[in-house]
Structure 1
Amino acid sequence: MKVDVQIQQRLLDLAGVDAELSRLRHRRRNLPEDKVIAELEAERQKIKDDAVGKEMILDDLDRDIRRLEREVEQVGKRELRDNQLMQSGSLPSKQLSELEHELATLARRRSLLEDDLLEYMEQREAADENYKHAGAKLSQIDDKISDANRQRDEALADIEVAERRCNTDRNALVRLFPDEFLELYTEQLTIRGIGAGHLQGRRCGACRIELDRGELERIAATPDDGVVQCPECSAILVRNARSGL
């Protein structure tokens, strides 16, 4: 295959654009912002689980407090009833004695219940502070995730701008090349990821392997407009005065 020397030189421009597109695709797949977001999301899940656990503790304490409040109320009603009976003056002495004993028992019971209620309310106050602290941490991590998402979106927008620019340049370049020459380049690009390289200092610019003397002599004997390929990676080799031939 023979292609004008100047056209072959422009193939390096196309290879450069394709290399940049490849770098952009790799950058898109490996955005550091995505890793940060994943780490933050994992941290958020832990904080959320912790907050849920603290909320469950609060719910349990609230249930116990309501139970104790009901029991205190019931004991209080029983005390009120007994006091009213004692003050009625219509009970025999034996029943009065029994009521006095019952009132003493109820008073002890109410005191124990109130002590328990106070303890539970103190526990609830501490648990509520823990829950609020977990909620604050959750809010902070949400802010961090929002900021990381914004940075990721900005990075993607930059990539998209660069990709559009590269695709515009590429569309203009591919019109310069004969179909067969472009097909050969595209085939190698698809297979190897690099379709062309500059032969410089006896080294292939695509695979970076230095060619042996026999291959260099063969390439040197090829006319300037002849298309040559790297014997190692098959990329099209673009030659010029710096090729060491």
Structure 2
Amino acid sequence: MTTAPPQEQRRLLDVQELDTRLDQIAHRRRTLPVLTRLTELEGRIADLETALVTSRTATNDLRRELKKAETDVEQVRTRAERDQARLNSGTGSPKDLQALQHELVALGRRQSELEDVELEVMERLEAHEGALAEVTKAHGELLTQRTELEAERDAAFAELDTEAEQVRAKRAETIAPLDEKLVALYERLRGRLGGVAVAALRRGRSEGSGLQVPGTELARIKALPPEEIVFCEDSGRILVRGEDAY
């Protein structure tokens, strides 16, 4: 398409302005600072969740170890109590009673050793449970922060989406009267030129490239009929000529 009514070409500038606003809204939506904070927070949460698994595993292992140590102590204590009862009853031969005395001494030593082990495991478990409590608390605080940031993100999204919907409605209203071929050209150029398909020619300067149009080219453009579609030599965008074009 090489021609279009001047008023339709000028209307393209309004469409372009609305599309640029939509692009800006989309960019703001993608680059909200809260999204960066959420990403960083998710990394910290992931690290803490790994630490939680490690701490819970270690704590559960120590709980099982403590239960075994308590069982070992109880078994020795029960056997010692049984031997002491037999010894106190005085039943059995002197040899048997002497053997019981020796066994009680050995059981006493064994019980003392096992109780030391039990105490050491209890101390380690206490330390691990304290660490687990701290990690669990920190993890909970980060989850609360995430909930707050997600609410902030969703509120920002809602505000931007409302704005975008209003702009899209205005765009639909603005583009509706335009010729389908002109719209197709505009959309094709937008896709090829980074979202900007049309720009104004003002006081001899192309707003599509930001450069002054050379004198010979400007004279050629000025001589063209108003309905002729003009393209910027540098940027390839449609140049719309208004009253201040020259």
Stretch moving more, 185-194 or 72-81: 185-194
Give TM-score, length-normalised by structure 1.
Answer: 0.91
- Give the match for residue 12 of structure 2: 11
The structure 2 residue matched to 1:204, chosen from 178, 203, 206, is 206
User: What's the CA shift for 1:48?
Assistant: 0.7
8 A contact 1:185–1:235 mirrored in 2: no
Offset at residue 233 of structure 1 (A): 2.4
Residues in 2 aligned to 1:182 and 1:77: alpha-carbon distance in whole angstroms: 94
Residue deviations 1:1-49, cap 9 Å, x none? 4444344332221110011112222333344333322221121111011
Aligned-pair Cα RMSD in Å:
1.9
SS of 2:178 mapped into structure 1: coil
Contact 1:69–1:117 (Cα < 8 Å) also in 2? yes
Runs of 4 or more, structure 1, over 6 Å off, are none
Shift of 1:59: 0.8
Tell me, what secondary structure is at the counterpart of 2:233? coil
Superposed counterparts of 1:66-105, under 5 Å: 66-105=67-106
- Kept in 1, the 8 Å contact 2:90–2:97? The answer is no
Q: Distance in 2 between the 1:77 and 1:124 partners?
A: 25
- Residues in 1 aligned to 2:152 and 2:44: alpha-carbon distance in whole angstroms: 18
Distance 1:61 1:70 in 2: 14
- Which residue of structure 1 lines up, in the alignment, with residue 36 of structure 2? 35
In the alignment, the residues of structure 2 paired with residue 57 and residue 2 of structure 1 have an alpha-carbon distance, to the nearest angstrom, of 77
Query: Equivalent residue for 2:234?
Result: 232
Q: Quick one: percent identity of the two aligned structures? A: 30
Deviation at 1:50, TM superposition (A): 0.4
In 1, are the aligned partners of 2:209 and 2:235 still within 8 Å (CA)?
A: yes
* CA–CA distance in structure 2, aligned partners of residues 165 and 34 of structure 1: 24
Cα distance between partner residues in 1 of 2:84 and 2:137: 51
Asked if the contact 2:69/2:118 (under 8 Å) is kept, the reply is yes
Q: Secondary structure at the match of 1:226?
A: coil
Aligned residues: 244
2:185 corresponds in structure 1 to 184
TM-score (norm. length: structure 2): 0.91
Q: Is the 8 A contact 1:185 1:195 kept in 2?
A: yes
Residues 1:106 and 2:99 are matched in the alignment: no
SS at match of 2:212: coil
Question: Could you say which residue in structure 1 is the equivalent of 2:134?
Answer: 133
- The one-letter amino acid of 1:237's match is L
Q: How many angstroms does 1:107 deviate by?
A: 0.8
3-state secondary structure, aligned to 1:237: strand
Per-residue CA deviation, residues 71-108 of structure 1 (Å, 9 max, x unaligned), is 11110111111111111212222222221111111111
Residue of structure 2 equivalent to 1:216: 218
Q: Distance in 1 between matches of 2:209 and 2:32?
A: 26
Q: Partners of 1:206 and 1:151 in 2: how far apart? A: 37
> Given the superposition, is the C-alpha separation of residues 116 and 201 from structure 1 closer, same or farther in structure 2, using an over 3 Å criterion?
farther
For 1:116, the equivalent position in structure 2 comes to 117
What amino acid maps onto 1:58 in structure 2? Answer: T
